Amino acid sequence: MIRIEGVQKEFAGMPVLRGVDLVVPEGCLYGLIGPGASGKSVLLKTITGLFRPDRGRILVDGKDVHQMSELELQQFRLQFGMLFQNNALFDYMTVADNIAFPLRRMTKLSETEIADKVADRLRMVNLPGFEQRMPAGLSGGQKKRIGVARATVMTAPIVLYDEPAAGLDPVTSQRIFELLRKEQRAAGATVLMVSSDLDRLLTVTDRVGMLYKGRIIFDGTTAEAQASTQPYVRQFVHGLTEGPL
């Protein structure tokens, strides 16, 4: 479980998170939505300890992330998989080396065991035999799937996705979301996913939270989000051009 209590964060005197309270239940695929610059990506990075909150606290399985020592924080991050907006693939590495990167840094597996895990991940994302390909030769959808393979190769109990389908066509986007849902169910992972592609995001989420001007203004099931009469939520979820946003 991820519990966020009163988290505030500002940069250069500009508030970004203004007192975020949120609970992501264990084993839940949680969608975090909201307009651009509302603090969604900052919140993800704060959860993993990359940013330190100015106030408030973040508890993961009851442990306060920002009370950990640097060594404890390194161990703590082993629990996480993360897919960044731009995929963050290393251009100079093959697909296999990109996927194997966290295994080589964080485990003592042999190269044979690592190769087996890489091949398994590539099968899961429907890219078998891509081990020796280079990122420059991949399509946008293939890069996303390689990013998913790397984010899940450690079978981490918590996975964070930041705009996993950004820039993709609708069909590829839907396939990515279905893949993430399949992965989440297979692993029983707790997933927090940020996406602006609401039409497809809402087909896979269990719960949804809306972050607006640095605060959570809605938290509920996907069905409750779709049926909400709260003006900001209704406008954003249904893409209405007239409203308070």
Higher pLDDT, 196 or 114: 114
Confidence of residue 78 (pLDDT cuts 50, 70, 90): confident
Handedness of CA 50, 143, 188, 211 (dihedral sign): positive
Question: Helix 140-152 vs helix 170-187: angle between axes, to the nearest 10 degrees?
Answer: 10
Split at pLDDT 50, 70, 90, the class of 44 is very high
pLDDT at 82 over 90: no
pLDDT digits 0-9 by tens, 199-219: 899 999 999 999 999 999 999
On whether the CB atoms of residues 124 and 180 are closer than 8 A, the answer is no
- 244 domain residue, yes or no: no
Nearest one of 171, 101, 182 to 135, comparing CA atoms: 101
CB atoms within 10 A of CB 240: 11
Q: Taking 80 as the threshold, does the pLDDT of residue 245 lie above it? A: no
Please determine, for residue 141, whether its predicted confidence score (pLDDT) is greater than 90.
Answer: no
Residue 94 lies in a domain: yes
Q: Is residue 129 part of a domain?
A: yes
3-class DSSP assignment, residue 21: strand
CA distance 101 to 99: 6
If pLDDT is split at 50, 70 and 90, which confidence band does 173 have? confident
- Within a domain: residue 106? yes
pTM: predicted TM-score of the whole model, two decimal places: 0.88
Q: In angstroms, rounded to a whole number, what is the distance separating the alpha carbons of residues 64 and 227? A: 35
Which residues form the domain of 30? 2-238
Domain CATH number, residue 36: 3.40.50.300
99 in a domain, yes or no?
yes
Number of domains in the chain: 1
In a domain, 243, yes or no: no
Query: Looking at the domain assignment, is residue 151 inside a domain?
Result: yes
Contact 13, 42 (CB under 8 A): no
